[in-house]
Amino acid sequence: MAATPELSTLISDPAAFAGAAARMHAADVAAALADLHPPASGRILAALPFDVAVDILDDPELNDRASIIGSLDTGTAASLVDAMSADQQAALFRDLPEPDRARLLPALSRPAQDALTFLLRYRPDQAGGIMTTEFMGVPPTWTVEETLRLIQSVGGAKETVYEIYVVEPANSHLRHVVSLRELVISDRNKLVTEIGSPGKPVTVDPATDREVVARLISKYDLLALPVVDQAGRILGIVTVDDVIDVMVAEETEDVQKFGGLEALDKPYTEVGFGAMMRKRAGWLTALFIGEMFTATAMGRFEHEIERALVLALFIPLIISSGGNSGAQATSLIIRALALREVTLRDWWKVAARELPSGLALGVILGAVGAGRILLWQYLGWYDYGEHYRLIALTLGLALIGVVAFGSVTGAMLPFVLKRLGFDPASASAPFVATLVDVTGIVIYFTVAALVLRGTVL
Tell whether residue 101 is a contact of a copy of itself (CB under 8 A): no
d(CA 433, CA 406): 8
89 makes contact with a copy of itself (CB under 8 A): no
Residues 4-23 that bind a copy of itself (CB under 8 A): 23
Q: How far apart are CB 15 and a copy of itself at their closest, in Å? A: 21
The residues in 270-329 that bind a copy of itself, with binding defined as CB under 8 A, are 273, 276-277, 280-281, 283-285, 287-289, 291-292, 294-295, 298-299, 302, 305-306, 309, 312-317, 319-321, 323-325, 327-329
Task: Return the number of the residue (66 or 276) whose C-beta is nearest a copy of itself.
Answer: 276
Contact status, residue 417 vs residue 427, Cβ threshold 8 Å: yes
By C-beta, is 98 or 302 nearer to a copy of itself?
302
Among 133, 434, 445, 457, binds a copy of itself (CB under 8 A): 434
Binding string, 44-83, against a copy of itself, x = CB under 8 A?
-----------------x----------------------
- 339 in contact with a copy of itself (CB under 8 A): yes
- Taking Cα atoms as reference points, which of 291, 333, 357 lies closest to residue 419? 333
CA distance 280 to 277: 5
Query: Does 152 help bind a copy of itself (rule: CB under 8 A)?
Result: yes
Applying CB under 8 A, among 134, 146, 229, 245 the residue interacting with a copy of itself is 245
Q: Is 388 in the site for a copy of itself (CB under 8 A)?
A: no
- DSSP annotation of 372 reads H
Task: Give the one residue of 47, 103, 155, 193 binding a copy of itself; rule: CB under 8 A.
Answer: 155
Is there a contact between 80 and 53 (Cβ–Cβ < 8 Å)?
yes
Single-letter amino acid, residue 62: L
Using rule CB under 8 A, residue 198 touches a copy of itself: yes
Tell me the three state secondary structure of residue 224: strand
Cβ pair 120, 94 in contact under 8 A: yes
Q: Is residue 428 close enough to count as binding a copy of itself by CB under 8 A? A: yes
Q: Does residue 426 interact with a copy of itself by CB under 8 A?
A: no
d(CA 35, CA 41): 9
Contacts of 216 (CB under 8 A, 6+ apart): 202, 204, 222, 225
CA distances from 69 to 25, 98, 210, 306 (A): 20, 13, 27, 67
Of residues 220 through 239, those in contact with a copy of itself by CB under 8 A are 220-221, 223
- Residue 420 sits at the vertex; the CA angle it makes with 414 and 424, to the nearest 5 degrees, is 25
Q: Which residue from 255, 352, 449, 450 is in contact with a copy of itself, where contact means CB under 8 A?
A: 255
Minimum CB distance to a copy of itself smaller for 94 or for 353: 353
Interaction of residue 336 with a copy of itself, rule CB under 8 A: yes
Binding residue (CB under 8 A) for a copy of itself from 91, 195, 238, 365:
365
Report the distance separating Cα 156 and Cα 151, nearest Å: 8
As measured in angstroms, the least distance from the Cβ of 331 to a copy of itself is 2
Q: Which residues contact 379 (CB under 8 A, 6 or more apart)?
A: none
Please pick, from the candidates 11, 24, 52, 355, the single residue that binds a copy of itself as defined by CB under 8 A: 24
- Select from 36, 37, 40, 28 the least CA-distant residue to 3: 28
**Min dist. Cβ of residue 114 to a copy of itself (A):** 26
Our CA angle for 53, 57, 58, nearest 5°, is 115
Within residues 367-386, the interface with a copy of itself by CB under 8 A covers 368-369, 372, 382
**How many residues sit in the footprint of a copy of itself (CB under 8 A)?**
116
3-state secondary structure of 179: strand
Inter-CA distances, 294 with 316, 411, 440, 449, Å: 11, 22, 9, 18
The total of other beta-carbon atoms located within 10 Å of residue 23's CB is 8
Min separation Cβ 321 and a copy of itself, Å: 6
Contact pick of 15, 185, 352, 449 for a copy of itself (by CB under 8 A): 185
CA 19 – CA 37 distance, rounded (Å): 19
The window from 81-89, 126-134, 176-184, 447-455 that contacts a copy of itself (CB under 8 A) reads 176-184
Nearer to a copy of itself, 109 or 422 (CB): 422
